[in-house]
């Protein structure tokens, strides 16, 4: 039973989310979740038998059509029409690892028993998750209010035997996969389509995915920055804890302490220095990296709340006998946080590129462009161009999406979060940071070779030995594109300790 994760009212952490997805745990509903779902559905069915007044999205049209009353015999068709009509996403496909998180988070949200869905509907979503049946979803189409309507419509289409899915690494028609498993399409009942489409699971899944990766690359930024410090023959005094205790931002203290641990036992850092100070990109690593850490920690808190929330509309409250239409689908908390996260990650890339620039500048007894016989060899001249280009793109992508809004649905939905756009561009910033840090590692590891026979710390030397097994020292010019790709792959494969998520 160790490979099962039971969906319940227990708080789901980002660390657990990562464990569930990376260890391919099988999902199952707890008995508590089953009861919550069934009680809510039974309440709604009884309510609709005796209730003839309009209830938004249950016996009315949607959006600005909220005043159009729908007869009871058409309630199922209303929900099916909703899913089909809203499946108008376009653009690039959402990465499959994010689609899988979307499925998990939609199941989690529906399991609390405030949404009125059928048990069979949630169980079918679990079947999709457990069998790696991943709906084809597109990145463009959500305004991040009324929830992620278009992406979640595409997530829901396969329940009806519509749309496409990836199954066994092939894109196939959903109907064919349902036939293969002997499953009949779900017949949606009142409110179900709205419960499936209203929600923030597109934004939430992107955010969770980025945060898991950001935690790792915040650590790697510290490690690679420390290797650059060694390659640049930098000073250790700026990492003295006394400096940071009198300006006690948590991230700043954590960064300085981590760098000191990385440097423990290094001959390079211990040697006498000819210079009094280092440039800010080295000296201010604790302050800059620390600020990004604190931003990441804040965003984690927002997303931990979100992935443990009910975000569809209207919501059904059995104990108070109320069905209330509100706005929990509005993505503003996520949009602002995703913009903040993009800025924090962009800054890690910005300062990384500056360290790369310093390393190739022919300073501190390093050869120009970190290669013997410069002139005949261009060495690491142009990877810095690449890093600079990517860092500048990140600055452009870090312009906030959350300050934008546009009127939709005939003015009914007159303020939207644009959180979906914030999510997709935050992922691009994250992927770009990975490449910038890979380029810095290439340069830093090359620079350290010019400090021989002095050794860095045991930890850094072990890390570099593993890296050198993938990307050898550059003696003369070669095609560095392949080195960048191999370095990115090396960083991707690098494992960090679980406690970093705390």
The catalytic site residues sit at 56
Measured at the alpha carbon of residue 106, what is the angle toward residues 83 and 82, in degrees to the nearest 5? 10
On whether the CB atoms of residues 244 and 252 are closer than 8 A, the answer is yes
- Of the candidates 9, 16, 4, 2, the one whose C-alpha atom is nearest the C-alpha of residue 32 is 9
- From the CB of residue 492, how many other CB atoms can be counted at a distance below 10 Å? 11
SS3 of residue 282 by DSSP: helix
- Of the candidates 470, 466, 474, 472, the one whose C-alpha atom is nearest the C-alpha of residue 489 is 470
Q: At what angle do helices 285-306 and 332-359 cross, to 10 degrees?
A: 160
Residue 492 CA from chain centroid, whole number = 15
Residues with Cβ within 8 Å of 183's Cβ and at least 6 positions away in sequence, in order, are 124, 127
Q: Which two tokens stand for residue 390?
A: 């990517």
Distance CA 407, CA 459 (A): 55
Distance CA 432, CA 436 (A): 6
First vs last C-alpha separation in the chain: 26
- Of the candidates 115, 124, 117, 137, the one whose C-alpha atom is nearest the C-alpha of residue 27 is 124
């Amino acid at each position: 039973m160790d490979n099962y994760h039971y969906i319940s009212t227990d708080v789901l952490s980002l660390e657990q989310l990562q464990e569930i997805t990376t260890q391919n745990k099988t999902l199952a509903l707890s008995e508590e979740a089953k009861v919550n779902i069934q009680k809510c559905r039974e309440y709604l069915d009884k309510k609709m038998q005796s209730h003839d007044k309009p209830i938004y999205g249950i016996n009315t049209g949607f959006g600005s059509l909220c005043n159009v009353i729908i007869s009871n015999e058409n309630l199922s068709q209303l929900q099916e029409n909703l899913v089909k009509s809203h499946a108008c996403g376009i653009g690039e496909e959402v990465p499959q690892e994010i689609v899988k998180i979307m499925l998990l988070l939609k199941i989690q949200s529906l399991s609390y028993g405030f949404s009125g869905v059928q048990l069979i509907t949630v169980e079918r979503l679990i079947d999709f998750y457990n069998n790696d049946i991943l709906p084809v979803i597109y990145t463009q189409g959500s305004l991040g209010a009324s929830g992620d309507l278009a992406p979640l419509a595409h997530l829901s289409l396969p329940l009806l035997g519509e749309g496409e899915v990836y199954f066994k690494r092939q894109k196939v028609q959903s109907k064919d996969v349902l036939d293969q498993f002997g499953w009949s399409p779900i017949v949606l009942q009142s409110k179900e389509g709205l419960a499936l489409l209203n929600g923030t699971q597109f934004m939430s899944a992107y955010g969770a995915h980025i945060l898991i990766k950001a935690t790792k690359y915040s650590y790697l930024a510290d490690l690679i920055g420390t290797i650059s410090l060694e390659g640049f023959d930098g000073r250790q005094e700026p990492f003295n804890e006394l400096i940071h205790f009198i300006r006690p931002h948590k991230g700043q203290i954590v960064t300085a302490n981590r760098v000191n641990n990385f440097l423990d036992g290094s001959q390079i850092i211990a040697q006498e220095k000819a210079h009094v100070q280092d440039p800010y990109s080295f000296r201010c690593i604790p302050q800059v990296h620390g600020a990004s850490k604190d931003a990441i920690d804040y965003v984690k808190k927002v997303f931990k709340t979100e992935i443990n929330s009910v975000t569809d509309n209207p919501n059904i409250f059995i104990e108070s006998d109320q069905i209330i239409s509100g706005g929990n689908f509005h993505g503003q908390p996520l949009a602002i946080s995703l913009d903040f996260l993009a800025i924090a990650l962009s800054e890690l890339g910005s300062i990384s590129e500056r360290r790369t620039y310093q390393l190739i500048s022919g300073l501190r007894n390093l050869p120009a462009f970190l290669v013997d016989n410069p002139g005949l060899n261009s060495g690491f001249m142009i990877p810095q161009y690449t890093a600079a280009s990517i860092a500048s793109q990140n600055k452009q992508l870090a312009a906030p999406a959350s300050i934008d809004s546009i009127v939709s649905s005939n003015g009914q939905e007159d303020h939207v979060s644009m959180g979906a756009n914030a999510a997709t561009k935050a992922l691009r910033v994250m992927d770009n940071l990975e490449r910038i840090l890979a380029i810095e590692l290439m340069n830093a590891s090359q620079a350290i070779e010019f400090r021989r026979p002095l050794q860095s710390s045991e930890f850094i030397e072990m890390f570099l030995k593993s890296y050198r097994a993938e990307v050898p020292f550059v003696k003369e010019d070669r095609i560095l594109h392949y080195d960048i790709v191999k370095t990115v792959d090396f960083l991707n494969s690098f494992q960090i300790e679980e406690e970093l998520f705390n």
